[in-house]
Amino acid sequence: MKFFVDTADPDEIREAATWGVLAGVTTNPSLYARIGGKLADFPSHIQQICSIVDGPVSVEAVGNTRDELVAEGLRLAALAENVVIKLPIGTEGLAACRILTDQGIAVNMTLVFSVPQAVLAARAGASYISPFVGRFDDIGEDGISQLADIIDALSNYDWRGFGINDQEPQVIAASIRSVHHVTQAALLGADIATIPFAVLKKCLDHPLTEQGLAAFAKDWEKVIA
């Protein structure tokens, strides 16, 4: 499973990149608003993020029609080579996905909450498909079993020929809120998990690791010089 960080904060991305495991970044309008981002700074902000990470950076196109989504997608894709356009699933997102994909622009289909949505996204050529785990849990459903169903359904087919360069779509486990979600995503074989920085850090924590480290340090002091 590849690890993406789900944030628009360059400091978090820079720190995660130093760990040597960061394969990409996902952002969305809420994450940019959360760091106090300004509209005028958005293009340079995305370029800054794209220069930090050696991998795809998902940036959401905002618009109401396929034409608006495509125009915005083209603008965003021109910012850096590693920009991936995030589009919301729906008639307009689907149509825009096909148009952008046919132009060689990678799309991450977002806000996916069902198997039909995921299969339609694959059919429209999406390079990445993002089932939202936590938000499905939020409404009393089971986000992890939804993710499992989507991975299963997509694995029934050969998707080469629909997307860019004969590549199959990759499933991004998104809206990850806990280490448990990360564990389950890996057990299910999700291609990617996009994880908030705080949760990514927690993935490294374990009380027995802490205890073991303290014990080794203490015993090392007993070693005769």
- Active-site residue flag, 2: no
Is residue 6 near ligand G3P by the rule CB under 6 A? yes
Residue 171 tokens read as: 């499933």
b (16+ CB within 10 A) / e for 15-29: ebbeeeebbbbbbbe
Residue 39 tokens read as: 């509209």
Segment interacting with ligand G3P, rule: CB under 6 A, options 60-68, 77-85, 131-139, 156-164: 131-139
Nearer to ligand G3P by C-beta: 132 or 162?
Answer: 132
Q: Which residues contact 139 (CB under 8 A, 6 or more apart)?
A: none
Give the residue, chosen from 17, 80, 134, 164, that forms a contact with ligand G3P under the rule CB under 6 A: 134
Is residue 174 near ligand G3P by the rule CB under 6 A? yes
Beta carbon of residue 97, minimum distance to ligand G3P (angstroms, whole number): 17
Q: Can you tell me the distance from the alpha carbon of 177 to that of 167, in angstroms, rounded to the nearest whole number? A: 29
Give the residue, chosen from 3, 13, 26, 171, that forms a contact with ligand G3P under the rule CB under 6 A: 26
Give the residue, chosen from 28, 108, 170, 184, that forms a contact with ligand G3P under the rule CB under 6 A: 28
Is residue 135 near ligand G3P by the rule CB under 6 A? yes
Nearest Cα neighbor of 124 from 155, 149, 157, 161 is 161
Q: Tokens 């799309």 — which residue?
A: 107
Beta carbon of residue 195, minimum distance to ligand G3P (angstroms, whole number): 9
Q: Which residues contact 162 (CB under 8 A, 6 or more apart)?
A: 122, 123, 124, 125, 169
Residue 210 tokens read as: 């802490």
Distances in whole angstroms, Cα of residue 35 to Cα of each of 9, 41, 97, 211? 7, 12, 28, 35
Give the residue, chosen from 148, 175, 185, 199, that forms a contact with ligand G3P under the rule CB under 6 A: 175
Segment interacting with ligand G3P, rule: CB under 6 A, options 44-52, 101-109, 174-182, 208-216: 174-182
Segment interacting with ligand G3P, rule: CB under 6 A, options 36-44, 70-78, 129-137, 200-208: 129-137
Is residue 4 a contact partner of residue 25, using CB atoms and an 8 Å limit? yes
The active-site residue out of 2, 86, 202, 222 is 86
Is residue 57 near ligand G3P by the rule CB under 6 A? no
Q: Known catalytic residues?
A: 86
* Contact residues for ligand G3P, defined by CB under 6 A: 6, 26, 28, 31, 132, 134-135, 174-175, 177, 194
